[in-house]
Chain A
């Protein structure tokens, strides 16, 4: 077994641990609990080889341009989505507003027309009444003047 296929020994790094660190037994148990669920020896080597193959298969099919995407391209994509959403919201709001506005306009129109109708109808009556009175007054005046 080559060095590459061995787990890196954490004890070298753990030399820098402070005195308050977990005791070795606890650390070892945790470490064992976090190992992949494969047996040791050849089976473990086979597991890591298989995992490496899966990783490389994904790397081979990965889009190399995606890694070049920076923050701006991500923001640009979200801006496009936001723009489309805003247009859709405005369109829906316009349609809803129009459909809700029509009955109100109709009611307002009718209320104005209804409110205006008695006056409109009474105006000619007043004119007629007024014209009757003036005819009578003219006739009376002519009668007085004729004497």
Chain B
């Protein structure tokens, strides 16, 4: 995979101790990394915490980063780990909170409220890992292998989880599809 020159330069400078360069990497990658964290922890505030933890860990481990890799993939694995750690520490988010977290008021008012509600309820009914896998794959476009690396599971397990998650989600949404 081709690594953009800008990113390569920022990584080299950050590895040499330039914090401003690391700030440039934060700016480049924070949005996508946020989505990875959010797919795992589901709650916005937790996603922010995991994102900050992930960037701090990445900064502390910069000397071990191989510049031949893509920084984004490496960072996303670290952020996903931070999100998983957060989930393990908390384990308090119930499905009701998830529905609340997903039901943000500023979304497109033209979208059917019922559809959105059904979707958030259905997502909340999926097991945590299945929900993360389906969001990371079908929404964010990561491959099974990338998801496996992020979540610490074999790529085959991610594929299997995805299959079951889709089946379950379609079952839950079958009367809304069309």
- Are A and B associated in one complex? yes
**The 4 A-B residue pairs with the shortest CB-CB distance in the complex, in nearest-first order:** A67-B60, A13-B141, A14-B141, A33-B102
Known: A14-B141, A33-B119. 6 other contacts (CB 8 A): A10-B139, A30-B139, A34-B35, A60-B19, A62-B59, A67-B60
Given A13-B140, A26-B173, the answer on whether A34 and B135 have CB atoms closer than 8 Å is yes
Q: Is the CB of A29 within 8 A of B115?
A: yes
Quick check: is A85 within 8 A (CB to CB) of the other chain?
no
Given A48-B30, A51-B51, the answer on whether A30 and B166 have CB atoms closer than 8 Å is no
Quick check: is B38 within 8 A (CB to CB) of the other chain?
yes
Q: Which of the candidate stretches A16-24, A86-94, A111-119, A121-129 sits at the interface with the other chain? A: A16-24
User: Could you tell me the distance between the alpha carbons of A62 and B62 in the complex, rounded to whole angstroms?
Assistant: 13
Name the residue among B23, B32, B139 with the largest chain A CB count within 10 angstroms: B139
How many Å from the CB of A3 to the closest CB on chain B? 10
How many Å from the CB of A37 to the closest CB on chain B? 5
User: Could you tell me the distance between the alpha carbons of A34 and B31 in the complex, rounded to whole angstroms?
Assistant: 11
Q: Is the CB of B27 within 8 A of A30?
A: no
Selected contact of A59 from candidates B38, B56, B139, CB within 8 Å = B56
Count of A residues near B, CB < 8 Å? 43
Q: List B92-142 residues whose CB lies under 8 Å from chain A.
A: 102-104, 106-108, 111, 115-116, 119-120, 123, 134-135, 137-142
Count of B residues near A, CB < 8 Å? 53
B residues in contact with A14, CB < 8 Å:
138, 141
Q: What are 25 A-B interface contacts by the 8 Å CB criterion?
A: A7-B31, A13-B141, A16-B143, A17-B141, A21-B137, A22-B134, A23-B177, A26-B119, A26-B177, A30-B135, A33-B123, A34-B139, A36-B47, A37-B106, A48-B27, A51-B30, A55-B55, A56-B19, A56-B23, A58-B55, A59-B26, A59-B55, A59-B56, A62-B59, A68-B63
User: Could you tell me the distance between the alpha carbons of A39 and B106 in the complex, rounded to whole angstroms?
Assistant: 7
Given A12-B141, A29-B111, the answer on whether A55 and B60 have CB atoms closer than 8 Å is no
User: Could you tell me the distance between the alpha carbons of A60 and B32 in the complex, rounded to whole angstroms?
Assistant: 22
Quick check: is A54 within 8 A (CB to CB) of the other chain?
yes
User: Could you tell me the distance between the alpha carbons of A57 and B35 in the complex, rounded to whole angstroms?
Assistant: 21
Q: Which residues of B does A touch, CB under 8 Å?
A: 19, 22-23, 26-28, 30-32, 34-35, 38-39, 42, 44, 47-48, 51-52, 55-57, 59-63, 102-104, 106-108, 111, 115-116, 119-120, 123, 134-135, 137-143, 163, 166, 169, 173, 177
Selected contact of A58 from candidates B52, B106, B141, CB within 8 Å = B52
User: Could you tell me the distance between the alpha carbons of A129 and B89 in the complex, rounded to whole angstroms?
Assistant: 85
B residues in contact with A23, CB < 8 Å:
177
Q: List A55-77 residues whose CB lies under 8 Å from chain B.
A: 55-56, 58-60, 62-64, 66-68
Given A23-B177, A39-B106, the answer on whether A55 and B116 have CB atoms closer than 8 Å is no
Q: Is the CB of A17 within 8 A of B104?
A: no
Q: Is the CB of B28 within 8 A of A4?
A: yes
Q: Is the CB of B26 within 8 A of A56?
A: yes
How many Å from the CB of B103 to the closest CB on chain A? 8
Closest Cβ neighbor of A7 among chain B residues? B31
